[in-house]
Structure 1
Amino acid sequence: MNNKELIGELSRRLGYTNKDAARLLTSVTGIMGEELQEGKVIAIQDFGTFEVKKKMERITVNPVTKQRFLVPPKLILNFRPSNLWKERLKKISDNE
């Protein structure tokens, strides 16, 4: 599902216009982005948790040249699904 499809589905389910649904989605993602930039954790009940984690610097080796080099630290966005979603996905995979 892309952004346009999500906006269409939101407008259909909530009875909003596409323009209002787009503003709602933009506001929600904007708020989430601001909170994550501040280092806060976002927990959405029955969905999951978003968190920014710091990946430490490390030394890696180029397999072709065998040259070692340092990979600098970086921030990564981590999502951990709720137990409810884990169970739903498990049921889907068990049925296949």
Structure 2
Amino acid sequence: MNNKEIIASLAKRTGCKASKAQNMMNTLIAAMGDSFLEGDAIQINNLGSFEVKKKLERIITNPSTGQRMLVPPKLVLTFKPIPSLKDKIKKGEKQ
């Protein structure tokens, strides 16, 4: 499902125009982005949680040359679904 399909589905489910649904979606994404920049986690009921985690620096080895390199630390965005959603996906159930 791409962005246009999500917005069309949101507009259909809420009964509003696509332009208003797109505005709601953009506002939601902007608010989530601001929270992530501040380092806050976001938990959405019946879906899961998004969290910014820090990955530590590590040493990797290039398999072809054997050269060792240092990978600097970085921040990554992670998502952890709720267990019931995870089970539904494994079983292939529709909601």
TM-score after normalising by structure 1: 0.93
Q: Which residue of 2 aligns with 1:72?
A: 72
What is the match of residue 16 of structure 1? 16
Alignment partners' CA distance in 1, 2:22 and 2:46: 23
Worse-matched range after superposition: 84-93 or 72-81: 84-93
Query: Which residue is 1:43 aligned to?
Result: 43
Q: Residue type matched to 1:58 in 2? A: R
1:91: how far off? Answer: 2.2
Please list every run of at least 4 consecutive aligned residues from structure 1 whose deviation after the TM superposition is greater than 3 angstroms.
none
Looking at structure 1, the residues matched to 2 and 82 of structure 2 have their Cα atoms a distance apart, in angstroms, of 23
Q: Which runs of 5+ in 2 are unaligned?
A: none
Does residue 28 of structure 1 match 2:23?
no
Q: Which runs of 5+ in 1 are unaligned?
A: none
Q: How far does the alpha carbon of each residue in 1:41-96 deviate from its partner, in whole angstroms, 9 at most, with x for none? A: 10001100000001110000000110001001111110000122012113228xxx
**What is the one-letter code of the residue matched to 2:76?**
I
User: What are the equivalent positions in structure 2 for 1:47-66 lying under 5 Å apart?
Assistant: 47-66=47-66
What is the aligned residue count? 93
For the aligned residues, what is the CA RMSD?
1.1
Specify the code of the residue in structure 2 equivalent to 1:13: R
- Is contact 1:60–1:69 with CA below 8 Å preserved after alignment? yes
What is the alpha-carbon distance in structure 2 between the residues aligned to residue 92 and residue 6 of structure 1?
Answer: 20
Please give the TM-score of this superposition, normalised by the length of structure 2.
Answer: 0.93
Aligned residues of 1:46 and 1:83 also touching (Cα < 8 A): no
